[in-house]
Structure 1
Amino acid sequence: MFISDLKLHGFKSFANKANMNFGEGITAVVGPNGCGKTNIVDAIRWVLGEQKYSILRSGRMEDIIFNGAKGLKPLSVCEVSLTVHNNKGKLPIEYNDVEIGRRIYRNGDSEYTINRTPCRLKDIHDLFVDTGMGADAYSVIELKMIEQILSETAEDRKRMFEEAAGINKYKTQRKSAIRKFEATRQDLDRINDIILEVKTKVHGLNLQLKRFKRHENMTRYLKESEISLAFLKIVNYEELAKPLYKKIEEFKRIRESKETKESIHEAKLVRLREVYQQQDKELISLQDELKTLEEERDEYHQNVLVYTEQKRSAESTLERLHLEKKSNDTKRDKLSTHINGIEQEIESLNPLVEAKLVEYKEKKQTFDSVEMEYEKAQASVEKLQSKRWEEQRKVSDQESLFKRTESLIEEKTKLIQKLEKNLEFLEKNQVEYSSQQKTIEQEKTNIQNKLNKKNTKLTEHKSILLTLKEDHQELAQKRHYVLTQAESLESQLQFYRELVAKGEGLPGGSRYILDRKEDYPEVFGTIADLFQVDEKYQSAIDSALGDLAFCLVAKDRKTALSVLETVRGKKVGNMSIIPLKELSASVPGLKPLPKNKEVIGRGSDMVKTKRSFQALVEFLLGNLLLVNDLKEAIKGTNLAGWNTVDLSGDYFGKNMILWTPDKSGKGVVGRREKIEHLQREIDVLGKKAESLKNKILFYEDDITKKEEELEGFSIEISTLLEERSAVEAKIIQNHYQQAQIM
């Protein structure tokens, strides 16, 4: 696999279209300074998906578009396409030649293509992952990058080796799988809340079912009663309808006499409607013809404008092509002379290339042996990791089964207790009703009085129960919100604890000393642990301190030298340490703050620490200015001699170095204070959740009692309604029998 073709148009200094063909071997691009050699490398990195304009040596992404020159106008778009010959099948695509294209406009819009088919930036990254090619891969080495690679930390070099070994794809897939597992775990936690909500709804539906059955019985009885009543009304209505039938006959005779006159008027109306419809059709046809003529007129006018514009465009194109032809003839002559010189230089470099090739093969053999050892170690780590995940999954399944069983037992126990109470209540009512034997009318009066009283109590209890349920629901929502906040803070706390425990970013020697802190009581810890900063200024102070945040602080120079000697003897890695006593004696005086509307304050004023470490704060951050916006602040002329940083972490030093930090959000300074703050908040939320839980249990007891009382009232009312219905049925039946006799 190799790059076979590169096409550029409008990229940086390439104003006109340029096409470069590369062979399978080594291709060298030579020329004087400023001719665009580095721009070719930038174009390759950009078309492979580079998003950082600083790496492309630009102030912003739109600056890579050709901005005009003497005799050439600026362009509004730039485009680069790269053809890769996939002869070994390393790219996961069926084509032998793969063309990657990227286009950007001045308004910021960007387009990506694979074989001239629109695609996403992610598709290009996935295509070249673990192939050694990519925007940030080791295959593209630019000016000063060798020095940068040699000065990188062990973690950065590890990433480069992993890219070369081809395992980044699998690490990305592993992270994606872990994120999915976490999302699934949160969904499982949410299921328990849903189960509780469904149980509450099922209980309410059971009560509604019982009410529906009572309503069905009463509806059936009401239907029978209405039929009996309807029979009596029908007899009365028939008597009343006889004189009305006679009046209807008279009105019919009158209507027939008037229908003859109406038929004459209707015939005349029909003739007039036919004339109107015919005239309406003629009007519609004339309107259609007029509309067609207007459309033809507009079309001819539009064609005239188009042909005029095409003529102007063709004339300007002919002039531009004539100029390009002259320019290309001149370039062709220069390039012919240049190619002859390059061929002579290539002949002189061939012996040196062969010697370097032999040296490369020796280094390659050594690298292959190291790579095999690394792959074996990686395989054993992955095997242990998968075993740990399997054990965790088994424990989670067992806990879930135990909780479901325990919840089912508790639900069945409550149901049995409730049924026993209802049975006892029904037995008492049966004894009371069997003792009441009075006359029919007197019994109906007594039942109605009792029914009115029970309905009043039932309405009062329903109102109380509704209020209790609303309060219970509100408390449950508050508790759920508190628990959600606690879980979120718990995940943050776990994240910061893992960072502190792993010692992320710490050099090996510093981590060794901190793991044995009891053996070195005169080492106070890292600067990041000793300083506390408000979250608002976290990014700014982290960026200003940089690697100094991981520097250890010792009591004095003697202690510092002793610790360094120990680390050197143990060979546990590098470290840096500051003697506090000597530093405190050499702290310079603080300069007054410059007058600039963007200045927030001095960096040392934004840091909280013990009084004994205040000199350290002034030494490191006394010459640092915090500003709102770095771009606006450095426009002023009174910030000379100051280090400047804005709230997002962008830093400009007095040594004229400008850089921006990693925006991943992993703050270093004040981690331990953050952990203590999170733990306090979690404790407060835990107590609040426990208090809400006790209130919810109290309300649940009250609701259960009220529901049982309502159930009792409902049964009593149902019994009274049935008795009243039976009495009324006897009365209606008696009336019905009297009507039948009559």
Structure 2
Amino acid sequence: MFRLQRLEISGFKSFADYTEIVFTGSGITAVVGPNGCGKSNVSDAISWVLGEQRAKSLRGGEMKDVVFAGTRDRKPGGMAEVVLHLVRDDSVAFSDEPELEDIDEALTEIDEAAVDMDLIEGLDAEEAAEAVETAEIVPVDGEEPAVGDVETVKAAQVGSTQIVETRVKTKRHWRPRSFALDFAPGEAVSVTRRLYLSGESEYLLNGKACRLRDISDLFAGTGLSGSHYAIIEQGRIGQILSAKPTDRRNLIEEAAGISKFRTRQRAAETRLDSAKSNLSRITDIVSEVDTRVNSLRRQAAKTRRFKILQEEFRVLLRQLYAAEGKHFTELSTRLEAEHTQAVGEENALREQLAKGEEGAREATQAARRAEESLAELRKIHSDNALARDRAEREHIYKSEQVVALNDRIASLNSEIEAGTIRLESIAADLERLTAEDSEQLAELEAAEGELRTAEESHRSVLAAVAKIEAEIESTRAELIQHTSAAERFDEIGRQLEINLEKVRNRLTGLEAEASRADQNLRDHETKVAELSTNLTAEKGKLETLTNEKNDLLKATSEAREHLREAESSHRDLADEFAAKKHRLETLSELEEKRAVYAPQVQKLFAASEEIGVEFKGVLADYLKVDEKAEKAVEALFGNFLESIVVSSLADAKRVSNWLRDNNAGRTALLIDSGGTLTANAEVPQNSIESYLGVSSEFAAVMRSAFPSEMSAILVDDLAGAASFPGSMAVSFAGDILIGGRVLIGGGAQEEGTNQSLLAFKRELTILASDVAELSSGIDAAVAAVDSAREELVQLEGKTVDLQSLLIKVDRGIHGLEIQLHAAKEEIDRASRHRKVVGEESEQSTSEIADLKERIADAADNRTSAENARDESAASLEGIAATLAAERAALEASNLVLNEKRTVAATSNERRRSVKAALERVGTQRVDFESRLAGQKAEALETEGKLRELHSSINEITDKISAAPDAIAAETTELNAAIDALALARADADRASEDLAEINRRTADAMNHRAEIEVRQAEAVTELKNAGENCQQELNIALPELVASTEIAEDFVLETARSDAESLRERLDGFGALNMLALEELAEAEERQVFLTTQRDDIVQSIAATEEALKEIKHRSRERFRQAFEAINENFQEFFRELFGGGQGQMTLLESDDILEAGIEVVAQPPGKRLQNILLLSGGEKAMTAIALVMAIFKYRPSPFCLLDEVDAPLDEANVGRFVNKIADMAEKTQFIVITHNKRTMEAARALYGVTMQEPGVSKIVSVKFE
């Protein structure tokens, strides 16, 4: 059993600083403080250090939420750490170790027989055996490997409950423990848990890294691991009772100590599943290996036969390729001679062909010229023939035109004569029709006069009838009008009575509406006043915030500019640093490799160990020459600047001998033996020695070695050297004057030559200094950038916060303006409403008076209308009799009128017919007169054309008469040209025949030469192919094979080829071969034996696992049953004590396995019926849960118990019982109670107060009561 000594918290949640809480050895410790001060973070810290993996249980979203998140004045923390210190006391505790040791031993033996199939599959026997010893596995059941066993660990996400993939150099899935967890009484134990924001997490036990599994094993069965019934956080009381029956069982299992057995059971079940899977897989593998062994045996036999036949084939190929090489080499030589002869014959024929082509070309050109002359002559003759033919066709055409024009003149004369006769006939018809038209006009006028008289009479009768009908219709309308008016006035009276009643009701409603409108107006005026006041205040606040924002924006802009300047400065420094560092590294590398020195110097430094001499450097390493004197020193000492400094003459001789022996050239060696040499008392200011920057000791060495150079005088110009006669003078430009007689000078080095040695040394020194200085400057620039960035972030954060506030205030102002505008509109609307209501009331009053007056008028009008109706009815009867007489007279008049209309229509139709005929005849006369004039004009024009045609025909006839003489002359000329063309073509044909013969002979020569070349190419190709095939198949060059192989006299090449092809086919017939079948067969047989042994081991492992699993379940059932009965009895006792009576008990729900049965809690407080706990009040639930927790504590005490505000739902009386009970139990168990209740605080021996002196940071204040 353990006792809690103290708790250390650092960086956990609100405990930003290191905080220590010391607990007394016994009794109650109370943790108090106001809401939100971080009291419950103490409870969370203890749960977390004991291994809690659920971020939700720690009141967080993810595990990194436990790290201090920072406040307004503090930066976030980088790590959370909690250390729990305990000490082992002398009290007797439950011990499961004897029962667990034999189970662990059984599981260990099972693992010894386990095999990692993923590593065995596909490996040979030797590799598989090695894999069994060093298999890499992933732990099960959340086990974490000890640090010493870890090879690689992949970091899991912070707060993730996923198991971190771990590779361990062991094949064992079950590792009982990696720490000795047995502690002697009085021995201190510390448990530490750390979590970094980077995601790394670690557990420590007594300061040493351990696994979570070790922590869980240490506290298993104490109530501090698993379901940890010893830690009751806020809300946990309710969860205990409201949880599922199966979840409630976990508390009893933890108290019974079954959690350790559960862990072993899960391990055993995992091993059993793995073993069965491995058995199935290894059985399949053994079957595959057996099949493979049988196959390899067949392959091995086949491979032996193949190798024998392959050797026979190889011997034959050597003879075959040697014979082919010799044959094709001789053939190539013979064909080369034939090719030379064929080329000579072809060249001779080509010369003859060139001459023949020249003659044929000249003959062809002569024939072409004759053809061109004949073609030109034929073109001229053809043009003349076309002209003669055109004249003949024109003579025929114009003769035909003469005939056609004569016919047209005759036709026109006939048409003119006929037109004259027709015109005379039309004039007679026109005269007759004119007389007939006059007669019809007189007859029509007489008929129309009679018709007008009849129409006048009919109209007078019709007017009388219409007048009477109008009078009767008027009287009938008056009758209807008077009848309708009487009915209408009667209806108007009734409607006006209804309207009067409606207006009276409306007036009553308007009076009530006016009262409401007045009240609404007053309400909205009050609201407008309030909104205006609020709006003015908010606008003032907005203006203040806007000014603050502008100031922040200006500061942010300045901070951003400052950051840009800092970043720019940092980049410039970084670029300069990189450039100079690169240059320094380059020069340093050259210096290290001595690349700037002469080759012999480089060789000496590279071979210093071989020579056995330690070089002190070169002369230039000892000099620190000013830049302005570098040229003078280099000119003065020259190549001696590369003199290698050694310690003694002996070393110098060894170096010289090495150079001579290795032909490495010559170099100067400067001996610095370290002896005492006389130093100059004073160095002249203008001497070269004053510019070398060497120590006085080394200056003495140089004066000894270079007396003339060391005594040289350094001058600005050699012109001033005259004042130093007899001495050596050197100018800063590098010119040397010796004794005033010898001048050594010249220009500077050519462009592109290497840098001088002293300049190189100086640049190396300057670069080293600059790089160091720039590095410091970069660090300062980085700090400046970080400072500027932090300042910018703070300002931007403030700006964002202020902007959010501005938006909020602006939205508020906008809302107030909308409300104010709406309120003002409501006032306007209420005013208008009140005005409208008043106007409508006045209007309703006026309408009532008007309606009464209109009702009286309607009654009078109805009486007048009824009297007028009676008078109209009597008048209508008299008018009807008069209308009947007038309608009879109208019928007689209609008959006369119709007769007269018929006569007039007939006369009018006859006159229209005569008039139409007269118009038609007149039109015909005009047409004939026009046509006759046109025909006469056409006859005159045709006679003129006829005269012109006769003149043209006479001219054409003269031309036709002269044509025969011209045709005879052209025929003679054409025959002469044809004869010349035939002679030229004959010459060209002969030249072409000669050329064709030469071409044929040349082609034959070319074909013969090409055939030889093809045979040559074939011979070369065959020889090349034979060489490639020989190299590929025999791995020997063909010439070498021909020279080393003797061919038998009876060797036949074709027969050998046939035999080789037959052997090749037989080899190909073997198909795919496994040339390593013999070696693979031995390996496969060894693997077969190995896997068979492994299969037997797995079968034994399965049997052992099933037996261990059976034993674990048996012991778990026994322990659970004992624990349940004891805790149930304790629960009944504590329930009665806490409630002052009543009854409470636990019952097991029915299940086939007691380990899977749920637990139901039934409670009956005093004076109430037995009921389910979910029906209890909050205080009753809390008391029931406390009784259950205390019952568990009595059966299995825990090192300490932490109660987080569990007394919150209890009243004063129940708090007293609760405090008394935990005070009794505090003699055996430490109680840490987080509470707000004064009664609970009074019972505590020590009191810790949690406060936040600084916002967001919790502090501890302690008070101890003696």
Normalising TM by the smaller chain, what interval? 0.3 to 0.5
TM-score (normalizing by structure 1)? 0.35
Structure possessing the higher relative contact order (Cα contacts under 8 Å, 6 or more residues apart)? 2
TM-score (normalizing by structure 2)? 0.21
Radius of gyration: which is bigger?
A: 2
